[in-house]
Amino acid sequence: MLQRFLIVAAAVLALTSCGRAGDGKSAGDTTAGDTTPAVQFRNDANLVPLPLPPILESATGIGVQYIERISPGGSGLISQESPIGTVQAIIAPAATDLTVEIPSGSRELIVAFGMLPPSYTNTGTTKGVCFIVELDGAAPAERELWQRCLRPIEEEGDRGMQEASVTLPDGTGRVVLRTLSAAASGELSWGWSYWANPRTGPGS
């Protein structure tokens, strides 16, 4: 009897060392609501929200064909939770370009971005997506204003919503929000990316 008790106790101890028994999770598991605590999300009172429909209508690129399939009701828009509340996002699967009209006098663009959790959880096998902000119409050497690549399967910190603060040159009229594959092969499968809550401000 004592021997059976010791065997059962050892089994329970082994289960608890790997994760709670019965909760279906183990160390390293993530959920759709995960965010990255280190990201500083801006909520300045002087930031001007940019309307999403004109940005969505400007979408071009091979990724456009997947926008309706991924977004609820095929609208191209989806609500996402962020540290500053629920925000609207534009589905922009790699590779997609979105053109954004910048209000006169703006010196900073604040925009959130990320990858939808199904792209890197369960059966999702994304190779990652690069997010790029470019100055529309500029010379190649001066075009790129900002870039960051997310590889959420390999990097836990790349999961959840991120946010970028991009300095705009004086007189900026338009920028392009671009998503591209982060894989050297250019693989686009599961490149389910989005841009969210674009705002402009006077800068610091």
Q: How many domains does the chain have?
A: 2
For residues 70-77, give the mean pLDDT.
Answer: 90
Task: Give the domain CATH number at 122.
Answer: 2.60.120.1060
Q: Do 12 and 48 fall into the same domain?
A: no
Q: What is the mean pLDDT of the chain?
A: 84
The residues with which 108 forms a beta bridge, in sequence order, are: 167, 201
DSSP summary character for residue 107: -
- The answer to whether 49 and 88 have CB atoms below 8 angstroms apart is no
Using the structure block, give the residue that is written with the tokens 């609500």: 79
Instruction: List, for residues 78-133, the tens digit of each pLDDT value.
Output: 999 999 999 999 999 999 999 999 999 999 999 999 999 999 999 999 999 999 99
Print the domain residue range for 23: 1-30
Q: Do 8 and 106 fall into the same domain?
A: no
Q: For residue 122, which phi and psi values (nearest 5 degrees)?
A: 55, -115
Above 90 in pLDDT, residue 203?
no
The reported pLDDT for the residue numbered 40 is 80
Q: Do 91 and 161 fall into the same domain?
A: yes
The reported pLDDT for the residue numbered 38 is 56
The reported pLDDT for the residue numbered 23 is 32
Alpha-carbon distance of 101 to 6, in angstroms, equals 69
